[in-house]
A = this chain, B = another copy of it.
Amino acid sequence: MALRFEVLGRFNRARAAQLTLPHFVSQTPLFMPVGTQGTIKGLTNDQLEEIGCQIILGNTYHLALRPTSELIDELGGLHKFMNWPRALLTDSGGFQMVSLLHLADITEKGVTFQSPVDGKPMLLTPEESIQIQNRIGADIIMALDDVVRTTITGPRIEEAMYRTLRWIDRCIAAHKRPNEQNLFGIIQGGLDPVLRDICVRGLVERNLPGYAIGGLAGGEDKDSFWRVVAQCTAALPEDKPRYVMGVGYPLDIVVCSALGADMYDCVYPTRTARFGTALVPEGVLKLKHRAMATDTRPIDPSCNCMVCKKYSRAYIHCLVTKDAMGSQLLSYHNLFYMMKQ
């Protein structure tokens, strides 16, 4: 185990904690922006530190394709490659293969998919996912899981949950850097409380450095979503971080934190910025809207970020309707907004 997790305060089920990782001491609850390919699109690392970003998520699948995990390893690891001094987390790569690629197929061995390079069938096993992540060198690495959409029902949910439990042992066995990298297990089981319960217990038995609640934010209704989070956080140990995967709407983060979760990741704040949308206390502000053209106010008059201190809605409107620079300013503001949560 290469982390320390100290709960500093509690309010009902919510908690504020300090998460000490090999590269950074983070304060939770925290949001992790997604930097798919070694960069948060449009922002420099100086700006990310200025915003208060503590952990960046890198996508194993994208990094393994380019520049390749072997090259990252040779160049001294992802921290050095992207010149990011703070913490990093990598996903297993499995979800990208299932969601991005055609002909992906899951068997007991692993995830079989068509190589985007030469079209040949390739297999990502739990062992390989961990080996790649060991080379990349993030502070937190994720187990390969069998992800099933929450909108699916039937025996496939059960199969995926049990397979995830079988794969965690292969991941643990394959993990070669447990003193420098923390392997998190992922709870699956769809919306079924019994399956979720079996999975949580199974993972907690393995005494992992941290636990993720997976398979959510995939189209299920909010009540089901929160019910699963509440069930899992209640069953997870108090002294380990709890990460709800793929969650990025500010309201969801507030609710999940109230339920005792600590970590979140999502492309939402940066992707929505690229479409010209800013996060504000009232919800969202669409900067492409014509009314913005003559609006001299900042995006959010109550925000202290560099963009809100320096630029008007009218200026950003002028940029987002044409130039990439507009979405950079919005990404900056949106991530600042998320870090304040």
A residues apposed to B, CB below 8 Å: 37-39, 41-46, 66-67, 71, 74-75, 81-83, 293-294, 296, 306, 310-312, 314-315, 317-319, 321-325, 328-329
Contacts and interface: CB of A to CB of B under 8 A. Distances in A.
Contacts of A325: 39, 41-43
Contacts of A312: 75, 81
A288 to B, nearest CB: 13
A217 to B, nearest CB: 25
A42 B81 contact: no
A39 B319 contact: yes
Nearest to A332: B44
Contacts of A310: 45, 83
Given A67-B293, A321-B66, A314 B42 contact: no
Contacts of A324: 41-42, 324
B306 A46 contact: yes
A65 to B, nearest CB: 10
Given A42-B325, A312-B81, A37 B318 contact: yes
Contacts of A82: 315
A321 B42 CA distance: 15
The 8 nearest A-B residue pairs measured at CB: A39-B325, A67-B318, A83-B310, A324-B324, A81-B315, A83-B311, A75-B296, A39-B319
A220 B70 CA distance: 49
B314 A71 contact: yes
Contacts of A328: 42, 44, 328
Contacts of A46: 306
Contacts of A317: 67
A49 to B, nearest CB: 12
Given A42-B324, A66-B318, A81-B312, 19 more contacts: A37-B322, A37-B323, A38-B318, A39-B325, A41-B324, A42-B325, A42-B328, A44-B306, A46-B306, A66-B321, A66-B322, A74-B294, A75-B294, A75-B312, A75-B314, A81-B314, A82-B315, A83-B315, A324-B324
A39 B318 CA distance: 10
A328 B339 CA distance: 24
Contacts of A318: 37-38, 66-67
Contact of A293 (B71, B294, B322): B71
Contacts of A74: 294
B67 A314 contact: yes
Nearest to A47: B44
A37 B315 contact: no
Nearest to A293: B67
Contacts of A314: 67, 71, 75, 81
Nearest to A35: B325
Nearest to A66: B318
A329 B310 CA distance: 22
Interface centre among A43, A46, A324 (most CB of B within 10 A): A324
Nearest to A71: B294
